[in-house]
Structures are given as C-alpha cells and as structure tokens.
C-alpha cells in the first residue's frame, strides 16, 4: 500500500493534505482495504466546526460501519458531494479521494500527525505485517 509523502496521517487512519489554510481529509489506503467495498459515506454539514479527534461522520462498507475522525481543528468549507452517488471511489482511489475540506484554525497545522513513514510503521505494528 502506498502512503503519499505529502500527506500527514492520523492513527485513526485519516490523511490530511494541507494547502495554505485549507486541509483536505480522506481515509488511507489501509483503511479502505480493511473496510472492503464502501457503499455509503456520511459527512458533516458545511460550516460545522470540528476539533481534532472529533467524529465527523462514518463510512459504511459491506463488512462494517466505521467512524471518521477529524485529524485537525477547523471549519468544514466543502464536502465531496460526488461520494453520495459513488462512494466506491474511495476503494479505487483512497489517496486521491478527499471527503471534506476544512479551513484550519491558525494553531492547528497537523504537526501532531504522523509522516508517511511513521504511519506505515504504525500500520505494520498494528497488523503485525
């Protein structure tokens, strides 16, 4: 599985891509692989305030429903509406499919998150592979 170097990663298996004061959030390739075929995504409303670690929605697959957690603090500025009709896009392109975009609070730039190498090590330890 690949984990882009440009992203930061949460131990809850979300990725964060930062562009200026905007953060895009998705789930990792490991997460989508563990879930199996994704059939539904529940996302927050635009304007909702999220704190790092808050649940903001869920991903439903044929195997289970998993909570989604915000890796950083910010305000939701956009949600990926295309996932309403095509949630399986996450399975085919987890590293490229964002779920929501946040306007980051000035003091939360993702520094507490893992690098790609740290996340890969974390997954390896968690799975024993």
Q: Is residue 3, in this structure, part of any structural domain at all?
A: no
Q: Is residue 1, in this structure, part of any structural domain at all?
A: no
pLDDT for residue 8: 97
pTM metric for this prediction: 0.94
Q: What element of type H or E holds 126? A: helix 116-127
Q: Is residue 23, in this structure, part of any structural domain at all?
A: yes
Question: Which residues lie closer than 8 Å to 31 by C-beta, 6 or more apart?
Answer: 13, 14, 59, 66, 94
Q: Is residue 101, in this structure, part of any structural domain at all?
A: yes
Q: Is residue 35, in this structure, part of any structural domain at all?
A: yes
SS (H, E, C) 20-78: CCEEEEEECHHHHHHHCCEEEEECCCCCCEECCCCEEEEEEECCCEEEEECCCCEEEEE
Tell me the residue range of the domain where 66 lies. Answer: 8-127
pLDDT for residue 100: 98
Q: Is residue 47, in this structure, part of any structural domain at all?
A: yes
- C-beta of residue 61 within 8 angstroms of C-beta of residue 36: yes
pLDDT, one tens digit per residue, over 4-24 is: 999 999 999 999 999 999 999
CATH number at residue 41: 2.40.50.100
Q: Is residue 32, in this structure, part of any structural domain at all?
A: yes
Query: Which residue positions in the chain have pLDDT lower than 50?
Result: none
How many domains does the chain contain in total? 1
Q: Is residue 74, in this structure, part of any structural domain at all?
A: yes
């Amino acid at each position: 599985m690949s984990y882009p170097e440009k992203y930061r990663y949460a131990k809850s298996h979300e990725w964060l891509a930062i562009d200026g004061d905007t953060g895009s959030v998705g789930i990792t390739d490991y997460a989508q692989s563990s879930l199996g075929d994704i059939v539904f995504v529940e996302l927050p409303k635009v304007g909702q305030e999220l704190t790092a670690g808050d649940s903001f929605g869920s991903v439903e697959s044929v195997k289970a429903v998993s909570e989604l957690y915000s890796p950083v603090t910010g305000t939701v500025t956009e949600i990926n509406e295309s996932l309403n009709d095509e949630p399986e896009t996450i399975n085919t392109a987890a590293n490229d499919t964002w779920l929501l975009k946040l306007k980051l609070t000035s003091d939360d730039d993702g520094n507490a998150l893992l690098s790609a190498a740290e996340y890969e090590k974390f997954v390896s330890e968690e799975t024993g592979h």
